[in-house]
Structure 1
């Protein structure tokens, strides 16, 4: 009975994604205040709840929404958004640098952090299935082009605005994968848009087609700290209720892992 119920839920989700996201709005003042108070808000899109509500109204907000959630299809199995808030004082306090006065919390520092692709290697995530932390990426580095295999150094000079890069990763659930990442930057915001350029496999099964895993990060400076908006939408082949549920949990855990990757580099 439980299996049938899960299948029914998944079917209704697919109906929702065929219809697409009808309503999109920016986070209001109350939502921003709540994020600042709690540190994190999570919103999983469902058939009954289709509205994006957590993204702060900013220069790159519309582009971010369209990139991650503008092409929802009947295969979309996971779509969610998170809004975190971290104060600059907390970033300094948690920094691994001994000289706390040297910790740079500027938007320029954020720009370099999100371009530090090699530092994704060893990134941890919490496995809800195994109830323990595991390594998400065993390999992660920038490559020169989508067809390249040779690692090149992270590109950290100057502004990230308008830059497009490519990266290779070997990760826990899907093995080898290639991504394109685009950056936008101004004086108080950095945006990062990623999409897969190669298929993603679950074992020997092709689970995600190219261009159908999209991940976004919008990091907005409010003076005292940062609002960090993370979103993800993934079209994946239906593998059965149990495996689909496992994959959904895996995708959700990645958002927290990305947040940690950003904040632990200061």
Structure 2
């Protein structure tokens, strides 16, 4: 009985002592870049390799991004790494933030074409299912692991799109994966078919900071001069969505 008690105590202490290190995950060189620049970004186009260069080697990252090599979405791959101070928040707080879709409403982004800041999502809310846009409350209760909800994002440039959002959560990390379940439009053109845009985000608790990895993959029609505009529009979303999450983690929940 005494040996069992000692073993259980050791397991308990070990579980509390466990912590990720951002420097160990990304390497010293990339960690110094993150400390200085705040972001590392890799974009690739028409890349048949389907590789992700920056994805962290953690349990939840593997759950969310491990299958992306099978998506065969090769027109565009965007990856961003960020380092974010925790500001007193916990993974449980971040879990709520990732599921509070309505908080994305009013998210701002910088328009390279107009050279000014604009509203990215005019409306953002959870919906009944993939095809029914009846508004329902954000599902933020309890642990996010295994939860699924649907949402509608009314994008400034890309119109109204429905997404399926799936979540994974462990003690030290939480992630969300968005997949479009309706076409993404650019003006009157359905530029991205259903299922051809996937966006993922994982927050990893690294002691005093979060390592944040965001990525997206997409296939879209070759539209000549519009192709570059669509690429820029899609890629700018990662920074804009991260900016919304960052403000909330910073205390504006």
TM-score range, shorter chain: 0.7 to 0.9
Quote how far apart the aligned CAs of 1:34 are.
2.8
Q: Which runs of 5+ in 2 are unaligned?
A: 1-24
Residue among 52, 77, 84 paired with 1:79: 77
Quote how far apart the aligned CAs of 1:62 are.
2.1
Match of 1:3?
Answer: none
Quote how far apart the aligned CAs of 1:183 are.
0.3
Contact 2:46 2:75 in 1 (8 A): no
Q: Which runs of 5+ in 1 are unaligned?
A: 1-25, 93-103
The answer on 1:250 being equivalent to 2:233 is yes
What TM-score, normalized by structure 1, do the two folds share?
Answer: 0.79
Distance 1:80 1:149 in 2: 29
Residue among 84, 89, 97 paired with 1:105: 89
Secondary structure at 2:75's aligned position in 1? strand
Match of 1:127?
Answer: 111
Distance 1:236 1:130 in 2: 23
Match of 1:60?
Answer: 60
- Cα-Cα RMSD: 2.0
Q: Which moved more, 1:246-255 or 1:49-58?
A: 49-58
The answer on 1:43 being equivalent to 2:42 is yes
Which has the higher Rg, Structure 1 or Structure 2?
2
Q: How many residues align?
A: 224
Contact 1:68 1:216 in 2 (8 A): no
Residue among 186, 191, 197 paired with 1:213: 197
Distance 1:256 1:52, change over 3 A: same
Which structure 2 residues correspond to residues 158-169 of structure 1 after superposition, within 5 A?
Answer: 158-169=142-153
Quote how far apart the aligned CAs of 1:33 are.
4.0
Contact 1:68 1:215 in 2 (8 A): no
Distance 2:72 2:28 in 1: 28
Which digits, 9 at most, give the CA deviation of each residue in 1:26-56, with x for residues without a partner? 7444323432342100011257896522222
Contact 2:26 2:56 in 1 (8 A): yes
Which digits, 9 at most, give the CA deviation of each residue in 1:135-172, with x for residues without a partner? 11111101121122211111111111110100011111
Distance 1:167 1:31, change over 3 A: same
Match of 2:33?
Answer: 34
Contact 2:81 2:211 in 1 (8 A): yes
Match of 2:9?
Answer: none
Which structure 2 residues correspond to residues 86-235 of structure 1 after superposition, within 5 A?
Answer: 86-88=84-86, 92=87, 104-235=88-219
Contact 1:36 1:84 in 2 (8 A): no
What TM-score, normalized by structure 2, do the two folds share?
Answer: 0.82
